[in-house]
Structure 1
């Protein structure tokens, strides 16, 4: 050894490992440089041998322990690095040392060092291509009759199994080897598979037998040996059984694994934690076995053996036993149950008694499950089973008697889940989940805006359970648990015979709790434990109402029985009574739990309005009008800001209810509802003080109620005019006021008025988008003045931005906000009624925007304004995308000016933007829309045909060629950028796939001749780079489609050029080794498999080149 390990070495090691706190980055760099000469095989072995040498005294060992730990880490890390590298090494001395050290670890050797040395020894064996001999030697060592089991040898075999059996397309983290060598190693391992399985099963059978009698060694030792054996079997059975193997071997394996898995369930109390490790490992191995896709006859053996073992295991997991089990073990048992049932449900159904017994055991497991994580596994089982029953109900695949028996069992599941989501029956678990701090309730003081900061806290926690599926907000643990249970209950209740039991359970419960709740205002405000108890009671009422309303809406709507319809009407009135009480007493001021209850009750009323059509058919029109009037009163009180404003979530729930009433109550009765008429007549004034979002949604709800297909045209036209005309007039007046006084461009008051009118117009546009053409034409007639006035306003604000960018204290944020809203207005209106608008107006809009955004100083000003300015640019690109969605000649005429703008003045702004990752997705979406909808603008079919009988295609003209190639080159430029964000990569892949599917882009002659090769090289570089690994499958599929146009050029030209550009130092022999991964096959599965092999081999050979 050229360098001596001394105190300087230890100091450098301290710095490199981060133990020297005062060290700088330069110090660490110098330390790494100092340590580099010590990274040799001889030095690493000397460090290991010195550290393992016996010390003269305990005191000496204590003093040297810390130094030896660091040296050991350096030594084993050096050994692994050297063995993984292609550097020439003399491995004979190393193999002998590693074998002795791994099988007989020195006293005091840290476990992580032994684990790492096992990995190094396996790497050495693979490097020497001596796997068969090594496995034979290991088997002999394990099979030798020692006094105790040779656990280190089993651990070594487990490392071999993990290395060989684990499938990995990226070799980093495992021993790097060429694919053909890996295939050979797996074949060698497979030849030993039968013998290894028999040996390991024998060891586990012996341990299982010994566990039934007094143990000569501590239970922990047998637990560790059994856990290692179970891990080995889990790896072995990722391979297919060899033809010589008999089903008895597999059956013995399953039996012994279930024996080990059950040990934890019945081990004596004194050793109740002694066998956790092996029991969990056995469950993992069994999960691998039961989910593997076996041949048909083998599957029968697996299902039969696993069914018996699982039933026995679950039989031992009664409530008393589960109370003593720890959570990880129960999770493993639940996960194994889920894996078995979800994989083999249809096969189990052929033996109805077996499936029935297993489902009964799963129900018992669900009911006794003390942990949420285990319960989620059980819920997955029931979700799969409910899907199976739903499918059988729809197609009549099962006998009615069997379906009824299944539904009877599911009623038990449903009833149990109801108890799980109520504090009254599952308070301890729900309190454990509810670990989020509760927001403080704002004081009920007149004039305090509760829709401000406090509401921002509440909005995440509010929202009806009925609507949770549409919410994108992340839910708390408690809400996620309740929602999962609620969703499954709702699905079960949809089955024909499952709804009545739930109604029978929930209706008396809700009635009793409602009767108690209606007296809450008369009691003083509770504190301490009483307050907590009240919150739990309110939450229980919330969930109970949600359950009752969902089952009532589903069941009574589908039922034709008069009694059911009237029961639904009674439930509607019950919820309405509760809503009136909550809103009337403004109970939302008492905190988040009351806000959630109010939202839920409003949703319950909305759902139960589904019985209104039947009540109308029975002739009870007066009753319907009375209930509708009461509902409207609730909505108006909720939106009333003159008392104590409601939180935004509550207002939103009220607007959903308003929209439902407008839909289910026939238009002819709207005039009989006095509150409805009052709301429409006073809408502008009533909405004035509402938050902007609520204002917009209120106009949406009112307009949807008016624009009903069954309404007489004269009626809805008059009512719609009364709603829209004041908004348009207000907007035009504000625009005129700004135009007449430029000094007021930055006025906050004017901006608020303009923003309000614009947001309402956008909401009205969204509401009209799916309506009949006559209604769209009416809206277009009203909105024309807005479109013309807004153009002048856009010009004013953009000019103001350009001229005042450097002006101190100029209200630029105001101008940017107004511009963004106006651009959004044009986007929404054109998206809704572009076909109904005059062509001249559309041309004027586009010409104005193109003219404005052609000024480079303006776009630079927008960029300098940060996120707000970027939003304007992104909004403009979105507007252009909406415009080019139509493939008619009207919009095609605008295409050239849009392309001139995108590849002229805007090009540099887009591609050199500070917020590049934000702007570019809008540009890609625009180009995708242009290519899909206006492909004929660029490419036209000719009268001649190619050799495949398809019409040849060519560019329409030189301008079309220039634009088309500019689009593909721009997309390719984005594709080639370093550290391409995954979302951009996915968007480009989808663009190419979509355009090819619609117009055969990849086959187009110009694409093949000019950009196909750069795209192929880019895809290969992305795949070899590895930073978009999550999109590896999509990139591989796209590469195949592009290569399939001409496989010959891909194999002969593209691959060679890729190696030359990406790895220029490789010689001809190294390139030949890499290219041998390809066999020239043209089917997609083989191509993708060989692509993965090629990428692995490129990395291996390149590492060899770097180390040379």
Structure 2
């Protein structure tokens, strides 16, 4: 043993040296190599067995167990059976002897190593593996150890990793399922006996009625049986530490078992009741405050442990709840589970003398509350439709409890989660009503009170008047991943609930919300009396700190309520327009008044006592009032079309007054937030409402003059673009309710031409200078002009691209000169990628919106110019040297070509050869070998469009020929180009970019669905099985695992073209070419691939083949050199 002893000492010193903070990385690498080499030696495990039984050094034990783990999981096949028997016998003995003294992480690792042996050898060579675990659980001394072994077995055997064959995985699951009833029985017994044993000692008189713990009326209605209520009302026993530990292990086992076993009668009522007993630990606040024993402070730790039992029990319940597939015989159990959980819900939302609900929830463990909320979410989303029909389940009372629980949440996140549950419930109710319109009234009557209560409370929660302390805590500066602040998220989620209630109960919702807004607006409209004129301008004469604080709260509330009113705009239009007309009119008139008031007394420019707070508040109210009015633009449009013939005065007054509110704000002196709100409202009036008299309103003419006046100060970019869009749309969009003859196109066309002429004057002047070499300063100025003009023109084109032909014709006539200037300037700026990028954006928008209007000759000229400019050198410069802007330029160019190749008819067909050659001979070679995804997605989309929209360019099938021959034998044309494109698709599947892979697989599948790609002779005979081979290799290498399902379906679609060849030729060839597996294994792989021809069975066979091929390779890699396999 001297050598083992010496090795142990050497290993201990190596380990100590390795983890010492003075050891260099170089030395650590040397030690690592030494240890790896030692582990690879045949028979190293014998040393490790000695190390485990003879050392106290944690590092050495961990290393030794890792050697065993490696041996069992990777080399077990090559270990002599005598050695295996020895290992199977020694390791469990070691565990039994030392489990009480080993550190927990070493003990758990040793358990896992033993379970790994069971995973390989049970039941054939390790028949007592599971029996031993059951015996450990049944013996009181080793119960905890047995439970750890059981949980590890459930984790490692029920859902094993891929280092097992599919047959072995199935066998293990079946073996485990056979044991489920026994195991659940054992676990039930353990939990029950500990509960009963400690309940006896805790037998105290029942709590007095005043203590608030007695079951209320709801409880008896929920539980239907006094005895169940009585049991659940017993005091919670006080457990010793050992019992607590055993219970937590048993509950952890149950939670993992429930994650994979199907719902069945093995999960008995007594087990469920026991789990619920333990769930009570989490909601018992007294568990936190047990009488101290001899003044020790141990009770807080004990309280936490008891709370943990509640969390574990809720995890078990939630595992069962998350299963959507419920057998008939289990439904009754579910009902019982809900009843018991709602007893707990009632318990934690009960008020008594000592606690408010909120303080009670604050005392519970945060994780317990999270688990409980998860339960409620699962109940509403998965089971409510099933349970609601049970007459003995009181849904309305449940909602009352959920209401209490929601509005007493101690944290914002908890409240958000509860609002999500209400959203789920409201969605459920809406879809239920839509599917059963006959019972609509009955359903709504049942829930009306609950919904009105919910609405009122959610509205109160967003108002500083009722909820200032909590709302002040919300951050309104930092943006999250969705680009919103915590406050915006809070408001948005609350308003979604308000909107969903409005959809169900419009009248109630409106009569709840509008008076609240009215009250607050009175404060805002009353500010005028406090405005005084001072030397520097206007000042708000409210200075007392308390008044300023109240005003701040009131203004914040107005902003929120205005957003709420805006959110409800969609519920006043369409079929309900007439029925809800008066309510909507009241809202719109109020909003028009408020916006005009804000613009007239210029509250946004007023000096205030607390400028850092009140100024943004006043600005926000003004901006939100404009945004809320904008939300009603569809209502205004409907109002216009319904009343324009009779009594239009009211409508005209609303629109004119709105414009009076907007125009003073369209100025570079106004803060951008407010300016943009005004611009957006102007765009909506011009685009959505489109009144015929808009152009003649003085306010609008004023804006025209301001925008076309070159001496006026230019608005910020965004605002300038929006105002130009609005003015262009006023002239271009057809007026509703008027025949073509009354549209006054001639006048409007002239006006539009002069508008565009004024907006592009400087830009058009660039043409004469484009040829001259640019000085640096001049170049920067020129770039600014190009940038500003093209942004406006692009936006104008985009906004009318879906409109009538007449609108687009006028638009193009006005733009024609600017478009020609752009084309003339393009070559001069080809090396300035930022300019080229903007020009190509503009041309792309033109091609998408106005290609018919541009006419064929000019379009051809544009395409030819681009094809000439983008030489191979230019493409390489853009892609390789100009970074992301250069790539964007090429991507936009390819996007323009996508539009061209999709054009029906023969017009652009002559360009196809040069477009394909550009793709395959110029762009593709540059990007093919680059790992970066830039340009690739656009290139492959273009290639897909070339094929999809120009199929006849490759396959000339004449109907007559196919009828005469009886089969469609197409003539193939341009075969070389077709093959090159297909080869590029094939290559793309060998690259790591998963998005490109998914996109290209989708393109191939689409071409097969629409044009029978896989059935074409050229594909079938020369490419089909190459693609299948590549896709199978991708599955084997696990490089694109997220797309397993899509790849499986594509392989099926390809194989199904010729199943006979797939089974008789491809599969044997594929297996023959597989390295790392022997001929016997290849034979088994082939035999296991059944000759199924339906999709589910076929894809299952594919995944089995891939799994087993990987498994065999793993086994073969782990065999010691020179192993002879029979």
In 1, Cα distance between the equivalents of 2:854 and 2:516? Answer: 53
* CA displacement at 1:1014 relative to structure 2: 2.3
Contact 1:579-1:598 within 8 A present in 2 as well: yes
Contact 2:137-2:145 within 8 A present in 1 as well: no
CA deviation map 1:696-754 (0-9, x unaligned): 23222322333332244335323422322333544322222223565579611112112
Cα gap change, 1:906 to 1:998, in 2 (>3 Å): same
Instruction: Show the counterpart of 1:180.
Output: 167
Q: Which one of 411, 420, 424 corresponds to residue 371 of structure 1?
A: 411
Contact 1:279-1:329 within 8 A present in 2 as well: yes
Instruction: Show the counterpart of 1:657.
Output: 681
Cα gap change, 1:719 to 1:583, in 2 (>3 Å): farther
Contact 2:840-2:889 within 8 A present in 1 as well: yes
**Residue aligned with 1:292, SS:** coil
> Does residue 328 of structure 1 match 2:328?
no
**Greater mean deviation of Cα atoms: 564-573 or 874-883:** 564-573
In 2, Cα distance between the equivalents of 1:693 and 1:435? Answer: 24
Give TM-score scaled by structure 2 length: 0.84
In 1, Cα distance between the equivalents of 2:960 and 2:241? Answer: 81
> Does residue 481 of structure 1 match 2:468?
no
Instruction: Show the counterpart of 1:901.
Output: 918
CA deviation map 1:662-717 (0-9, x unaligned): 24555322144211122123323378622333322322232233333224433532
Mapping of 1:586-597 within 5 angstroms? 586=605, 597=621
* CA displacement at 1:918 relative to structure 2: 1.0
* CA displacement at 1:623 relative to structure 2: 5.3
**Residue aligned with 2:957, SS:** strand
> Does residue 400 of structure 1 match 2:427?
no
In 1, Cα distance between the equivalents of 2:104 and 2:112? Answer: 13
**Residue aligned with 1:1087, SS:** helix
Cα gap change, 1:475 to 1:43, in 2 (>3 Å): farther
**Greater mean deviation of Cα atoms: 871-880 or 148-157:** 148-157
Contact 1:190-1:239 within 8 A present in 2 as well: no
Cα gap change, 1:584 to 1:360, in 2 (>3 Å): closer
Instruction: Show the counterpart of 1:253.
Output: 271
CA deviation map 1:826-866 (0-9, x unaligned): 11101101122211111111111111112425633653222
Q: Which one of 190, 194, 206 corresponds to residue 177 of structure 2?
A: 190
Mapping of 1:466-545 within 5 angstroms? 473-497=482-506, 498-504=508-514, 506-512=516-522, 514-515=524-525, 522-523=539-540, 538-545=555-562
In 2, Cα distance between the equivalents of 1:1007 and 1:729? Answer: 56
Cα gap change, 1:162 to 1:818, in 2 (>3 Å): same
Give TM-score scaled by structure 1 length: 0.85
Cα gap change, 1:421 to 1:782, in 2 (>3 Å): same
> Does residue 74 of structure 1 match 2:58?
no
Contact 2:433-2:443 within 8 A present in 1 as well: no
Cα gap change, 1:858 to 1:303, in 2 (>3 Å): closer
Instruction: Show the counterpart of 1:932.
Output: 948
In 2, Cα distance between the equivalents of 1:1013 and 1:679? Answer: 66
> Does residue 35 of structure 1 match 2:35?
yes
**Residue aligned with 1:369, SS:** coil
* CA displacement at 1:899 relative to structure 2: 0.8
Contact 1:755-1:821 within 8 A present in 2 as well: yes
Q: Which one of 743, 759, 765 corresponds to residue 791 of structure 2?
A: 759
Contact 1:165-1:186 within 8 A present in 2 as well: yes
Q: Which one of 148, 151, 160 corresponds to residue 158 of structure 1?
A: 151
Contact 2:433-2:440 within 8 A present in 1 as well: no
* CA displacement at 1:80 relative to structure 2: 1.7
Instruction: Show the counterpart of 2:807.
Output: 775
Instruction: Show the counterpart of 2:217.
Output: none
Cα gap change, 1:78 to 1:653, in 2 (>3 Å): farther
> Does residue 697 of structure 1 match 2:722?
yes
Instruction: Show the counterpart of 1:5.
Output: 7
In 2, Cα distance between the equivalents of 1:272 and 1:942? Answer: 83
* CA displacement at 1:929 relative to structure 2: 1.4
Structure 2: tracts of 5 or more residues without a match: 203-236, 291-301, 350-356, 532-537, 736-742, 1120-1126
Cα gap change, 1:182 to 1:335, in 2 (>3 Å): same
Structure 1: tracts of 5 or more residues without a match: 53-67, 438-459, 462-471, 802-814
Cα gap change, 1:325 to 1:6, in 2 (>3 Å): same
In 1, Cα distance between the equivalents of 2:718 and 2:818? Answer: 20
Instruction: Show the counterpart of 2:866.
Output: 849
CA deviation map 1:331-390 (0-9, x unaligned): 101101211221112212212553333223222221222233333443333222212221
In 2, Cα distance between the equivalents of 1:1058 and 1:478? Answer: 59
In 2, Cα distance between the equivalents of 1:950 and 1:531? Answer: 89
* CA displacement at 1:210 relative to structure 2: 3.9
**Residue aligned with 1:1089, SS:** helix
Instruction: Show the counterpart of 1:277.
Output: 308
* CA displacement at 1:1013 relative to structure 2: 1.9
Q: Which one of 706, 718, 726 corresponds to residue 731 of structure 2?
A: 706
**Greater mean deviation of Cα atoms: 473-482 or 8-17:** 8-17
In 2, Cα distance between the equivalents of 1:955 and 1:407? Answer: 69
**Residue aligned with 1:284, SS:** helix
Cα gap change, 1:160 to 1:499, in 2 (>3 Å): same
Instruction: Show the counterpart of 1:59.
Output: none
Instruction: Show the counterpart of 1:468.
Output: none
Instruction: Show the counterpart of 2:630.
Output: 606
Contact 2:53-2:94 within 8 A present in 1 as well: no
Instruction: Show the counterpart of 1:23.
Output: 24
**Greater mean deviation of Cα atoms: 314-323 or 757-766:** 314-323
Cα gap change, 1:36 to 1:164, in 2 (>3 Å): closer
Instruction: Show the counterpart of 1:133.
Output: 128
Instruction: Show the counterpart of 1:457.
Output: none
Contact 1:12-1:35 within 8 A present in 2 as well: no
Instruction: Show the counterpart of 2:1031.
Output: 1019
Query: Cα RMSD (Å) of the superposition?
Result: 3.4
Instruction: Show the counterpart of 1:807.
Output: none
Cα gap change, 1:195 to 1:595, in 2 (>3 Å): farther
> Does residue 356 of structure 1 match 2:406?
no
Instruction: Show the counterpart of 1:262.
Output: 280
* CA displacement at 1:235 relative to structure 2: 3.5
Instruction: Show the counterpart of 2:213.
Output: none
Instruction: Show the counterpart of 1:993.
Output: 1005
**Residue aligned with 1:889, SS:** coil
CA deviation map 1:967-1016 (0-9, x unaligned): 11112112212xx1221112112211222222121222212222222221
**Residue aligned with 1:918, SS:** coil
Cα gap change, 1:706 to 1:240, in 2 (>3 Å): same
* CA displacement at 1:282 relative to structure 2: 1.8
In 1, Cα distance between the equivalents of 2:271 and 2:1007? Answer: 52
Contact 2:572-2:635 within 8 A present in 1 as well: no
In 2, Cα distance between the equivalents of 1:9 and 1:514? Answer: 80
**Greater mean deviation of Cα atoms: 215-224 or 893-902:** 215-224
* CA displacement at 1:598 relative to structure 2: 4.8
Equivalenced residues, count:
1024
Mapping of 1:1053-1068 within 5 angstroms? 1053-1059=1065-1071, 1063-1068=1074-1079
In 2, Cα distance between the equivalents of 1:421 and 1:514? Answer: 18
> Does residue 822 of structure 1 match 2:854?
no
In 1, Cα distance between the equivalents of 2:938 and 2:544? Answer: 54
In 1, Cα distance between the equivalents of 2:200 and 2:598? Answer: 67
CA deviation map 1:14-70 (0-9, x unaligned): 6766x546623x544322211124323123222321235xxxxxxxxxxxxxxx222
In 1, Cα distance between the equivalents of 2:971 and 2:778? Answer: 49
Cα gap change, 1:309 to 1:721, in 2 (>3 Å): same
CA deviation map 1:570-614 (0-9, x unaligned): 432354156427965247986766665554332112124455468
Mapping of 1:267-346 within 5 angstroms? 267-268=286-287, 269-270=289-290, 272-294=303-325, 296-318=327-349, 319=357, 320-346=359-385
